[in-house]
Amino acid sequence: MLLWHGSRTSNFYNILSQGLRIAPPEVPSTGFMFGKGIYFADVASKSGNYCYPAKGKCALLMLSEVALGTPQILRDANYSADKLEQGKNSTLGLGKFRPSEGNFMTMKDKVRIPLGPLEDHSGDGTQYSLLYNEYVVYDVAQVKSRYLVEVKFDM
């Protein structure tokens, strides 16, 4: 799946030269809600929160092909989610707002791209601790960085 990854602009030199890494020591931790892994989102603004841009300044987002395999689906924090259930390859932290299953485009190479608008699942009787989906992989071999996108957030 083609997913967004956000990080401070100052981190992208290392990301571009060494690839995305799991819990690099030089990068401040944001909590590891689903264990130590590489975090992605299907909503650009969710990943944009991790860019910490200054008002009116540009930030960078990365679009990566992420091989999710069969994800374990969680609705609440699990700080040891990186100890995957048997047969699972990643974690999907399910958000209240997410792309409709029918709103994906599949490329020739089978990469799926989530499209908008988002569906609101707040009326389905389930409690969600996340507003938007978070995808986490625990093996750098599951990630192929494809595009670096410069964005400007109006705050």
Q: Decide: 119 and 96 in contact? Cβ < 8 Å.
A: no
- pLDDT on residue 25: 74
Is 134 considered catalytic here?
A: yes
Query: For residue 41, which of 126, 98, 89 has the smallest C-alpha distance?
Result: 98
60 class by beta-carbon count within 10 Å (0-12 exposed, 13-18 middle, 19+ buried): buried
Which domains are assigned to the chain?
A: 2-20+51-152 (3.90.228.10)
- Pairing relationship of beta strands 143-152 and 58-66 according to DSSP bridges: antiparallel
Determine phi and psi for 134, rounding to 5 degrees. -125, 135
Q: What is the pLDDT at residue 155? A: 61
85 CB burial (10 A radius; 0-12, 13-18, 19+) = exposed
Residues 102/78, Cβ–Cβ less than 8 Å: no
Instruction: From the candidates 101, 119, 134, 150, give the one annotated as an active-site residue.
Output: 134
Residue with tokens 């690839």: 19
Overall pTM > 0.85: yes
pLDDT tens track, the chain, 155 positions = 999 999 999 999 999 999 999 988 777 677 789 999 999 999 999 999 999 887 788 999 999 999 999 999 999 999 999 999 999 999 999 999 999 988 999 999 999 999 989 999 988 888 899 999 999 999 999 999 999 999 987 76
